[in-house]
Structure 1
Amino acid sequence: MNDSKGHITTFLDQHFLHFNAASLVDAAKAYKEQLNKGSKMLVSLAGAMSTAELGKIFAEIVRKNQVHIISCTGANLEEDVMNLVAHSHYKRIPNYRDLTPQEEWELLEKGLNRVTDTCIPEEEAFRRLQQHIFKLWKKAEEAGERYFPHEFMYQLLLSGDLEEYYEIDVKNSWMYAAAQQNLPMVVPGWEDSTMGNIFASYVLKGELKASTVKSGIEYMTYLAEWYRNNSDMGIGFFQIGGGIAGDFPICVVPMLYQDMEYTDTPFWSYFCQISDSTTSYGSYSGAVPNEKITWGKLDIDTPKFIIESDATIVAPLIFAYLLNL
């Protein structure tokens, strides 16, 4: 790994010295240490990080083999590809806090689905993908084949069928980088994504079988096998946001240890979460890392970090630190 420091890394070392800023640098350094000692790393993506264009830097993390498996929501899976093929049709609304219900309705009528200050164009994004992904679903079903949601997306990207629509440099798509490497991935709760909803509509219409897309339980068993085969030098857990993208994969360790009775299963070797969730009243997303010790996920000595801040600010800085930018 290149240890020469760029301007961003130097700035962080000089100025991010206390509180959440210091936690950011400490977590980034510990992430580097994990990689240097040969540990692998899982990154979980929640929220709307793909719509926030995290791919501009995360794609390089994928290419540099600084992440070895990804857990993401169905939204992040598809929204990176949507940004790739429909970027010029997105609409930014800086004054989103001031919108009236009538103005929100008018966005809906224009086919603009709002994510905070950014509207995703339904026709150019959702429907453009739909016509191509349906063909892959149907082809698999007719051949008696079944794939995970991310595998269908990989097939779509690698087929070249979307190239005519590309509106950003493909190097800024983390999904394209992942597809090129056939990077392991789990996508828990894919059913609540737009593509998941569209797939369900075809099942309701009798045009596809639900079994054509592999399920969440199959993702868990896939993750369990991957963890068993890759944990000799440890596997770290870097969590962006909360929710199912983090909750689902972290449970694989206690499942293997307690339910499968594989008592040689190592705990996660590193844990960091970027979170703005309040630590109170049973919120798992806001739970401090030590709580995970009681559930058999982390060890007493596991390096643990929580950065209470906005992931759209923190994640690019940590990735810049990893890349020595």
Structure 2
Amino acid sequence: MTTRPLSSRPLSIREFCRRHFRHFNAAALVDAAEGYRRHVDGGGKMMVTLAGAMSTAELGISLAEMIRRDQVHAITCTGANLEEDVFNLVAHDFYERVPGYRDLTPHDEKALLDRHMNRVTDTCIPEMEAMRRIESVVLEEWMAADRAGERCFPHEFMYRILRSGKLEKSYQIDPADSWLLAACEKNLPIWVPGWEDSTLGNMFTGHCISGDVKNVHTVRTGIEAMQSLATWYEETAPKTPVGFFQIGGGIAGDFPICVVPMLHQDLQRTGVPLWAYFCQISDSTTSYGSYSGAVPNEKITWGKLGVDTPKFVVESDATIVAPLIFAYVLDR
């Protein structure tokens, strides 16, 4: 009996996944990646939503290239993901990893607090080098806009500070690995629902209370963000199908996907197309009304997806799955 000799050529990520990922969640990953590729190659646009702490997980290493290669056309993210990509950009060398985070005692956690090291699972974000450094720069933009009577969305202020060059001397990672820099270069539309609960959102609130910023509406949020998303979707979806790639759950996913039933049911604009592709990476379970764990077919009942919409769920760790899917799509 003879065996087939293995090729000496290294497999690309796409080839590796096709060869080894044949069943269960592994197969779902391949199916979702193939669906993503078909959707964009066919002229479709893709909305990517970021929940959790994907920026602190340095998803920018793979997401930035997806943006540069025109595989991502819009983003909805939490305020934490918006700001933490920039925190990492300017303070990466000061971050600390805690591999044994499960063994930390309350006293260990208090010691991290005393050192101004804010822990996200196994990674500590340095308050002074990251959060306060960005606060001082963005506060200048908030106050200037406030004096001029300007009002901008959270990401627009971040785009301003990146374009100003004020942070360039402080970069501590390869700028190519920052997804927000890549989005800024493409002027990608971004929506940040619930921005108020982020670190910078808290800081902005504090500056409104102290009087540094006079108009609390200097940063546009909430209902205006949904209005902006509705305008973008109505202008985009009739021309080219729009897909929905959801990393995690929560407000980052629930906010944007609701724009379709809002347009249909509340504005009676029935000619607006449904989302044309859907994939979610999540480890949430379907229980007790969990939205993050709801199977895609439930979204049919809410007027978000159609019967024939390609639908995929990969029940796994997004920090593992998302970079693999992105590398698959890019055929690295």
| 1:126 equivalent in alignment to 2:131 | yes
Alignment of 1:70-219 (within 5 A): 70-208=75-213, 209-219=215-225
Measured in 2, the distance between the counterparts of 1:69 and 1:121 equals 29
Instruction: Report the secondary structure of 2:125's partner residue.
Output: strand
Measured in 2, the distance between the counterparts of 1:66 and 1:230 equals 15
On the 8 A contact 1:113/1:120 being kept in 2, the answer is yes
Measured in 1, the distance between the counterparts of 2:225 and 2:114 equals 36
Measured in 2, the distance between the counterparts of 1:68 and 1:166 equals 25
Structure 2 counterpart of 1:230, one-letter code: T
Aligned partner of 2:290 in structure 1 is 283
On the 8 A contact 2:37/2:329 being kept in 1, the answer is yes
Alignment of 1:37-52 (within 5 A): 37-52=42-57
Rg: which structure is higher? 2
| 1:225 equivalent in alignment to 2:231 | yes
Instruction: Report the secondary structure of 1:114's partner residue.
Output: strand
Instruction: Report the secondary structure of 2:152's partner residue.
Output: coil
1:6 Cα deviation (Å)? 5.7
| 1:9 equivalent in alignment to 2:14 | yes
2:299 to 292, 298, 301: 292
| 1:255 equivalent in alignment to 2:276 | no
1:78 Cα deviation (Å)? 0.3
1:233 Cα deviation (Å)? 2.2
Measured in 2, the distance between the counterparts of 1:243 and 1:281 equals 15
Structure 2 counterpart of 1:92, one-letter code: R
1:107 Cα deviation (Å)? 0.2
1:180 Cα deviation (Å)? 1.0
1:179 Cα deviation (Å)? 0.7
Measured in 1, the distance between the counterparts of 2:294 and 2:267 equals 26
1:216 Cα deviation (Å)? 1.1
On the 8 A contact 1:28/1:321 being kept in 2, the answer is yes
Ranges in structure 2 where 5+ consecutive residues have no aligned partner:
1-9
1:19 to 15, 20, 24: 24
Measured in 2, the distance between the counterparts of 1:163 and 1:7 equals 34
Measured in 2, the distance between the counterparts of 1:174 and 1:148 equals 18
Aligned residues: 321
Instruction: Report the secondary structure of 1:123's partner residue.
Output: helix
Structure 1 counterpart of 2:170, one-letter code: Y
Structure 1 counterpart of 2:168, one-letter code: E
1:281 Cα deviation (Å)? 1.2
Measured in 2, the distance between the counterparts of 1:215 and 1:12 equals 40
Measured in 1, the distance between the counterparts of 2:11 and 2:182 equals 23
Measured in 2, the distance between the counterparts of 1:123 and 1:289 equals 42
Q: Which runs of at least 4 in structure 1 moved beyond 6 Å after TM superposition? A: none
1:115 Cα deviation (Å)? 0.3
Measured in 2, the distance between the counterparts of 1:114 and 1:88 equals 15
Structure 2 counterpart of 1:30, one-letter code: G
| 1:243 equivalent in alignment to 2:278 | no
On the 8 A contact 2:192/2:221 being kept in 1, the answer is no
Ranges in structure 1 where 5+ consecutive residues have no aligned partner:
none
Structure 1 counterpart of 2:219, one-letter code: V
Structure 1 counterpart of 2:235, one-letter code: N
1:181 Cα deviation (Å)? 1.2
Instruction: Report the secondary structure of 2:278's partner residue.
Output: strand
Deviations 1:236-283 (A, max 9, x none): 000000110000000000000000110101110000000000111100
1:7 Cα deviation (Å)? 1.6
Instruction: Report the secondary structure of 1:289's partner residue.
Output: coil
CA-atom RMSD, angstroms?
A: 0.9
1:51 Cα deviation (Å)? 0.3
1:322 to 303, 308, 329: 329
Measured in 2, the distance between the counterparts of 1:254 and 1:93 equals 43
Q: What is the TM-score when the length of structure 1 is the normalising length?
A: 0.98
Aligned partner of 2:5 in structure 1 is none
Measured in 2, the distance between the counterparts of 1:31 and 1:110 equals 43
Structure 2 counterpart of 1:240, one-letter code: I
